[in-house]
Amino acid sequence: MQRLNPALIRRLNVARVFHALRVGGPASQTELVRSTGLDPATVSAVARHLRDEGLVTTTRQPSRGRAGRPPTQLAIDASVGVLVGARLEPGTVRVLVTTLVGEPRATWQGSAGPTVDDALETLAGGVEAALGEIGVGWDQVRAVGVGVPALMSLSGRVAYGPNLGWRHVPLQERLAERWSVPVAVDNDTSAAALAETLFGAARDVRDFVMIAGHSGIGGALYLGGRLYRGSGGFAGEIGHARVVDGGRRCSCGDRGCLEAYLAEDALAARLAERGRDLATYAAIGTAAADGDTVVLEVLDEAGALLGRVIADLVDVLDPEVIVLAGALSHVVPWLLPAVERTLADEALGAYRSRCRVIASSFGPEAVTMGGVGLAMEAALSLPGWLLDQDAAMPRSAT
Amino acid sequence: MQRLNPALIRRLNVARVFHALRVGGPASQTELVRSTGLDPATVSAVARHLRDEGLVTTTRQPSRGRAGRPPTQLAIDASVGVLVGARLEPGTVRVLVTTLVGEPRATWQGSAGPTVDDALETLAGGVEAALGEIGVGWDQVRAVGVGVPALMSLSGRVAYGPNLGWRHVPLQERLAERWSVPVAVDNDTSAAALAETLFGAARDVRDFVMIAGHSGIGGALYLGGRLYRGSGGFAGEIGHARVVDGGRRCSCGDRGCLEAYLAEDALAARLAERGRDLATYAAIGTAAADGDTVVLEVLDEAGALLGRVIADLVDVLDPEVIVLAGALSHVVPWLLPAVERTLADEALGAYRSRCRVIASSFGPEAVTMGGVGLAMEAALSLPGWLLDQDAAMPRSAT
DNA sequence: CACATTACGTTAGAGACACGATGAAACCCA
DNA sequence: TGGGTTTCATCGTGTCTCTAACGTAATGTG
């Protein structure tokens, strides 16, 4: 049980200032006082800290014609390091190298065998390849983050990953001993949600639900300014919500699950029944873009079912937005009308605040970007709970 | 935007020590170090603070036969003050006066007219009456908390209370100017959830859902160690979840809502159709206890519908427990079997952690006790977000 | 019976924050 | 041209936390 000591507060405030600079661009200390809500003296100390670390550069601004001392602008020095994000899926590994502010610099993709060792070797090779491509050494890597399609413990262990066929794998530990930089590992959909709050469409949103579709349908809840995982880590696992009584059989053994209608192969199977040989979301999206009416019909039906699940989520959680992400993104434009139709029809708490359903800023790459988000947290020495906006910026007292 | 200053940390730590003493009983400083996770030096300073405030008494313990300096025991001095909790409902006001550790000392109940002024006058009179009954003056009242069946803003204003017929009422402000002690006002179901975490069945639970039934069915979500309200304050409003397609008409204008089957008058109406003239949950509970098979059947049906809603909640939120409270408590024993049957049948995320459904420790008085909980927070100068266990006792870093 | 051992609580020092005051660097205007 | 004003950043003081060392009061032990 960790205590709320001064060093922790300093880390928190350093992160607040860093994020303010990252999101809002270069700023003077006075502007940072406004955007972070910190005391000028604190900003001054944090600014010195960041200067000493070499993370920010200071440039004297010329006079702007106004009275008063001209400000000294702080800016993140993106050249002093990179973040590495990665994603493990069954059979595939993706790597994304970005600047310290999350701008992409290099990507890599490769296929891996089914064992943990295979995957880790491939991942390590991919990271080396991506770094080599842009001539960046490990001395410039500030942190690595990895998104995994599995139920994770808080310490970065894979508790159970049915798609990968893994159980009880100390992933964070194994990667940390391989690399000498901070390593963060988390569930892929949670990571995608994190990326959305750090870099994407949910940047100023405190309450949203992330729904990511790849081989399965995953959900993550970001509530009250932080990820919510539930008492056993299952919160937001909406792939097996029942949407059709006695409906199609699902891989989980039950019937009528959302996944049995919206997952990639489920959608492909449904289209195959109607004479369309389209195996991937990408191919289905292309056909939809071409105006294939059968494809459009199937997507509309799937969208209506997704809308039913979203309606239930909205009724219970009252989120500000719902973000759709992952490979599913390829077909989202043709799901959305049915989703919104169903939502308007079914989610009708008598006097409800309005919820928007939007597509992720990163589309299919949301999870890989999530790896970068995990890396950024790790680079700032910030465990997830510290990003809690309530703890960081409490509202006025009652 | 408030800052994380030393004074706030002190308030937090004072509250942590106080709650440790309240829950765990008298303890030495060393025991408090263990139970709160604070540093011995901090506990020492906090203990002096509490002694100076007169909130705790210290008694030198005799030697226990073990080596070492004998400890000095700290104990909350329950005689130095009282907490006042209250509950407003349409037409009725309840007041509960307790010691500083939440033990009841006096209760009062009365009826009030429909206007805000009526209710506040009745409330004020009731508090005076309850205090008078035990001969306690206002100088001993540390704080007052009030639970209200309405959508509340964070500042204690009634935004919308359909059952009361109120809108935009600055309730906290009006009560605070009447009394010169701290006053906290909040939604009744949220308050009941708070009481359950402070005094009741959910004391060590970080994730649970409170479902309270009175004239309507209300829900509150306590997630990750704190109340979650949603982006518009509607989170957990489960009364109008649809449980029967095209079912009975509900007061909200829709059909098939849970409230249309489980609310007090809905249940009464359903029983009237079958020849039973039972107007209240209490009367229905009595009949059920007597073994009236018609009543038992109707309750079983209602329990199945409630179970369906709970199943959805469990699938999305993965809570540790569900707590049923309010006047509904009178019939909970005859709802539970059907609830659990339905839950086992419907909530079956493939590999889900188990969720218990339990009755509130305070039954029909959960909301009044919630008022006491609000008062306790106010007495410790603790706005709700400060009780966040993550902010207070962060887990080890990633 | 003197001294070690054990357990409990407090004090001393360093780091961090907030507040208020001070220093720094421009503009403005008589 | 020189003082006043405005704006930006830093410094000094007080409080709080944590770490580490110390004081205090009992029991054990040769």
In this prediction, residue A113 carries a pLDDT of 93
Nearest Cα of chain B lies from the Cα of A111 at a distance, in angstroms, of 28
The chain B residue lying nearest A233, using CA atoms, is: B318
The chain A residue lying nearest B352, using CA atoms, is: A234
Q: Is residue A394 part of a domain?
A: no
Same domain for A374 and A259, yes or no, is no
User: Residue A140 has what DSSP assignment?
Assistant: G
- Please determine, for residue A397, whether its predicted confidence score (pLDDT) is greater than 60: no
In this prediction, residue A393 carries a pLDDT of 30
In this prediction, residue B322 carries a pLDDT of 97
d(CA B73, CA B115): 50
Cβ B72 vs Cβ B63: under 8 Å: no
A237-to-A118, A287, A309 alpha-carbon distances in Å: 28, 29, 11
Same domain for A233 and A380, yes or no, is no
- Considering only CB atoms, which chain A residues are within 8 Å of B387? none
Nucleotide in closest CA–C1' contact with B5: C17
State the average pLDDT over residues A362-371. 97
pLDDT digit string, tens, across residues A234-275: 899 898 888 888 888 888 777 888 999 999 999 999 999 999
d(CA B96, CA B141): 12
pLDDT digit string, tens, across residues B207-265: 999 999 988 899 999 998 889 999 988 899 898 888 888 888 887 777 888 999 999 99
Select from A312, A313, A352 the Cβ nearest to the Cβ of B234: A352
In this prediction, residue A4 carries a pLDDT of 67
Same domain for A129 and A93, yes or no, is yes
State the average pLDDT over residues B268-278. 95
B70: Cβ under 7 Å from strand C? Answer: yes
Signed CA dihedral, B38, B39, B40, B43: sign only? negative
Instruction: List the single protein residue with the shortest CA to C1' distance from D11.
Output: A41
Say what percent of chain A tops pLDDT 90: 69
Same domain for B130 and B233, yes or no, is no
* pLDDT bracket for residue B4 (50, 70, 90): low
In this prediction, residue B6 carries a pLDDT of 74
Better pLDDT: A126 or A16: A126
Cβ distance of B235 and A316 shorter than 8 Å? yes
In this prediction, residue B351 carries a pLDDT of 59
In this prediction, residue B394 carries a pLDDT of 27
Q: Is residue A396 part of a domain?
A: no
For the ranges A35-49, A248-262, A299-313, B65-79, the one whose mean pLDDT is highest: A299-313
State the average pLDDT over residues A298-307. 96
Cβ distance of B394 and A2 shorter than 8 Å? yes
Nearest Cα of chain B lies from the Cα of A355 at a distance, in angstroms, of 9
Q: Is residue A373 part of a domain?
A: yes
d(CA B248, CA B264): 15
Same domain for B115 and B157, yes or no, is yes
- The upper half-sphere exposure of residue B200, i.e. CA atoms within 13 Å in the direction of its Cβ, equals 30
Domain termination residue (choose one: B56, B77, B98): B77
Same domain for A312 and A178, yes or no, is no
- Please determine, for residue A68, whether its predicted confidence score (pLDDT) is greater than 50: yes
Nucleotide in closest CA–C1' contact with A42: C17
Select from A242, A346, A390 the Cβ nearest to the Cβ of B385: A390
Domain termination residue (choose one: A77, A103, A127): A77
In this prediction, residue B97 carries a pLDDT of 98
Mean pLDDT in chain B?
Answer: 89
Distance B41 CA to D20 C1' (A): 11
User: Mutate which of A318, A321, A386 to disrupt the B interface (most B C-beta within 10 Å)?
Assistant: A318
In this prediction, residue A155 carries a pLDDT of 80
Q: Is B248 exposed, middle or buried (0-12, 13-18, 19+ CB in 10 A)?
A: middle
Domain termination residue (choose one: A77, A109, A138): A77
Same domain for A173 and A289, yes or no, is no
Same domain for A207 and A153, yes or no, is no
Q: Is residue A398 part of a domain?
A: no
Instruction: List the single protein residue with the shortest CA to C1' distance from D17.
Output: A5
pLDDT digit string, tens, across residues B295-335: 999 999 999 999 999 998 998 999 999 999 999 999 999 99
d(CA A244, CA A54): 56
State the average pLDDT over residues A155-168. 90
Strand D positions closer than 7 A to protein CB: 4-12, 14-21, 23-28
Helix-strand-coil percent breakdown of chain B, rounded to 5? 45, 20, 35
In this prediction, residue B249 carries a pLDDT of 87
Q: Tell me, what CATH number does A241's domain have?
A: 3.30.420.40
- Please determine, for residue A388, whether its predicted confidence score (pLDDT) is greater than 60: no
B265-to-A255, B253, B363 alpha-carbon distances in Å: 36, 16, 19
Cβ distance of A236 and B39 shorter than 8 Å? no
- Please determine, for residue A283, whether its predicted confidence score (pLDDT) is greater than 70: yes
In this prediction, residue B333 carries a pLDDT of 97
Same domain for B242 and B383, yes or no, is no
Same domain for A14 and A115, yes or no, is no
Total tally of structural domains belonging to chain B: 3
Query: In which region does residue B235 sit, left (phi positive, over 0), alpha (psi from -120 to 50) or beta (all else)?
Result: beta
Q: Is residue B396 part of a domain?
A: no
- The upper half-sphere exposure of residue A332, i.e. CA atoms within 13 Å in the direction of its Cβ, equals 21
Q: Tell me, what CATH number does B66's domain have?
A: 1.10.10.10
Q: Is residue B1 part of a domain?
A: no
Say what percent of chain B tops pLDDT 70: 93
State the average pLDDT over residues B170-177. 95
* pLDDT bracket for residue B387 (50, 70, 90): very low
Same domain for A189 and A264, yes or no, is no
**Residue the block writes with tokens 């509309």:** A300
A70: Cβ under 7 Å from strand C? Answer: yes
Distance B34 CA to D22 C1' (A): 21
In this prediction, residue A383 carries a pLDDT of 54
In this prediction, residue A253 carries a pLDDT of 76
pLDDT digit string, tens, across residues B324-366: 999 999 999 999 999 999 998 876 655 566 899 999 999 999 9
Domain that holds residue A115: 82-194+366-389
Structure tokens at A183: 């390593």
- Please determine, for residue A398, whether its predicted confidence score (pLDDT) is greater than 70: no
Q: Is residue B15 part of a domain?
A: yes
The H or E element spanning position B296 is helix B293-317
Q: Is residue B394 part of a domain?
A: no
Same domain for B165 and B181, yes or no, is yes
